[in-house]
Amino acid sequence: MKFFKRDKQKTSPKTQKDAIPKRRVWGINTETLQLILEVSKETYPNEFVATLIAKKGVIEEINLLPGTLSGNTTATIRTHMQPPDITLSVVGIVHSHPSGDFRPSGADLFFFSKFGNTHIIVGTPYDINSWQAYDSSGQPIEIKIVD
């Protein structure tokens, strides 16, 4: 019996990061940003958290997941509760910092590196100027507000 040599490049397992294509997010819909700011305001003094859904490079929706827990210093999202039909459109998370400081914490940076490649943090006073987008390594990125 003859055995065939395996081509190591073709059979080597890919890491999860390699298997998921990077999505290029360049904008956020005005109405979606306003919704994020309003829900964050209503949730105050607790944190708000949801997943971000983009189409053609623009964040158009958020998804509130069942089982999400929030307090005044933390929010826990259960990403495994994401419906399968929109999972491929999810590009990251959005959450609020009631303190007003919208720089990522150590816990934020850890989560950013594990889930998606575009993240938004909003802070008080929850207006059009109190948010920042970040990449998966926690570096600030620019996202345009579009109609």
* Cα–Cα distance measured from residue 34 to residue 38, given in angstroms and rounded to the nearest whole number: 6
* Cα–Cα distance measured from residue 86 to residue 137, given in angstroms and rounded to the nearest whole number: 24
- Give the residue numbers annotated as catalytic, written as ranges: 47
Q: In Å, how far are 12, 74, 97, 118, 120 from 108, measured between CA atoms? A: 31, 10, 11, 12, 10
Q: In Å, how far are 13, 22, 54, 93, 109 from 19, measured between CA atoms? A: 10, 9, 19, 20, 21
